[in-house]
Amino acid sequence: MKVAVIGGGAAGFFAAISVKEHHPTSNVVLFEKSPKVLSKVKVSGGGRCNVTHSCFEISELIKNYPRGSKFLKKSFHQFKVNDTIDWFDTFNVHLKTESDNRMFPTTDNSQTIIDCLTNQFEQLGCVLKLQSAVTRITPQTNNKGFELIVNDKKMSFDKIVVATGGSPKIEGLKWLQNLGHKIEKPVPSLFTFNMPKHTITALMGAVAPNVKVRIEGEKLESTGPLLITHWGMSGPAVLKLSSFGARKLAEKNYQFNILVSWLGQLSEDAVRALFQKEITDHSLSQISNYKLPEIPKRLWVYLVEKLGIELDKRWCDFSKKDLNRLVNGLVNDSYQVQGKTTFKEEFVTCGGVSLGDVNSNSMESKKIPGLYFTGEVLDIDGVTGGFNFQAAWTTGFIAGKLS
């Protein structure tokens, strides 16, 4: 059996390896149009490779996929986080869990993952063809395989696994659309919020560890750490919100308002009670000296000044109006977003081959027997934290079964 894998990323390599593990006598050729493979693996996690996330309950794991959660629920029963850990462990690549539950190789070096994949790929006898662009797939009559056009040359294969990754434009997926597949329009996911010339950017580097961020006028919100940058806001809370709101924010042309609650999930009444206690217990203290674990000191000073409250004001001098202003300002702090910035090199798209056209138990096309899909070419994307790689390992493993 001759099998072509198109795309030399994480999903493509894992699929090729899976084909050989399940079908040892098959001939597997991986085509990559560029001169490099596993580029995203190389840069992931700041060069350490965030392999997966230590979320072992499938019901919890799928909550981290804005698109593809229902589809992956079945898939994860075939290859889940534990299986990823065990697979790499088999080749003496051990993973560790960090405080935020992201998992990295103990070497803290993405090259460890690259070497593991490429070594296994070679040992199994898979063939790699670099700078080999596949421009057309033509199914043969009576399900007798496929003809591929690779660098203007015709080649024949029995099965095809497409692992070409996300495409920023729908034009990059036209060749799959021409085969009869529905393509969900690609739009960016996982991006930071730009706030040009906003005064808060002077606090770049400050991290509020537990905030709630909402899109004004939408039922979109996210919680977690928020990082202030020299261009606006980033951090897990913002990145997660950008992922879940990818389509809606694209419709808004990335011009919208956000409401930040600097004290996370605390209600207005709870925040008011917090300050009432301070007024009672430390009435002579100045507001500038107040310490909250959720708000760094320089951010606290900035927020108080933004609300027009004097920093040397004592709690005992607070009027009801002052208290209301402070509470509302911390729970519903408004900022205008004007644009986005890609999060580091971890470019992720929302969109791709419609999941309605793919069998979640096999990754086989429902339109064309013998054609399989894996990774980000599918309309699947996860939030930051190793979830996109986990989807790549899972769908790659399943596609490689060729079942």
Q: Which of 366, 348, 368, 345 is nearest to 357 (CA)?
A: 366
Beta bridge partners of 208: 226
3-state secondary structure the chain: CEEEEECCCHHHHHHHHHHHHHCCCCEEEEECCCCCCCHHHHHHHHHCCCCEECCCCHHHHHHHCCECHHHHHHHCCCCCHHHHHHHHHHCCCCEEECCCCEEEECCCCHHHHHHHHHHHHHHCCCEEECCCCEEEEEECHHHCCEEEEECCEEEEECEEEECCCCCCCHHHHHHHHCCCCCEEEEEEECEEEECCCCHHHHHCCCEEEEEEEEECCCCCEEEEEEEECCCEEECHHHHHHHHHCHHHHHHCCCEEEEEEECCCCCCHHHHHHHHHHHHHHCCCCEHHHCCECCECHHHHHHHHHHCCCCCCCEHHHCCHHHHHHHHHHHHCEEEEEECEEECCCCCEEEEEECHHHECCCCCEECCCCCEEECHHHECCECCCCCHHHHHHHHHHHHHCCCC
* Element housing 280 (H / E): helix 268-281
Which pLDDT belongs to residue 275? 93
* Element housing 117 (H / E): helix 110-123
Quick one: tokens of 5? 């894998």
Amino acid at 207: V
* Element housing 111 (H / E): helix 110-123
* DSSP tag of 203: G
Q: Does residue 83 sit in helix, strand or coil? A: helix
Q: Which of 11, 9, 101, 87 is nearest to 50 (CA)?
A: 101
Which pLDDT belongs to residue 142? 83
Which pLDDT belongs to residue 401? 98
Which pLDDT belongs to residue 143? 80
Write down all domains in the chain, each with its CATH number in brackets.
2-188+346-399 (3.50.50.60), 191-342 (no CATH)
Cα–Cα distance list, 99 to 61, 62, 64, 182 (Å)? 17, 20, 18, 40
Which pLDDT belongs to residue 347? 64
How far is CA 178 from its chain centroid? 28
State how far the Cα of 7 lies from the Cα of 30, in Å rounded to an integer. 7
- Average pLDDT, consecutive stretches of 10 residues, N- to C-terminus, the chain (403 residues): 98 98 98 96 94 98 97 97 98 97 98 98 98 95 92 97 91 94 93 95 97 97 96 95 95 97 95 93 93 93 95 94 95 97 70 97 97 97 94 98 96
Strand order in the sheet with 153-157: 134-139, 146-150, 153-157
Q: Does residue 351 sit in helix, strand or coil? A: strand
Quick one: tokens of 95? 């993973």
Which pLDDT belongs to residue 344? 56
Which pLDDT belongs to residue 343? 61
CB 219 within 8 A of CB 259: no
Cα–Cα distance list, 363 to 70, 354, 395 (Å)? 14, 12, 7
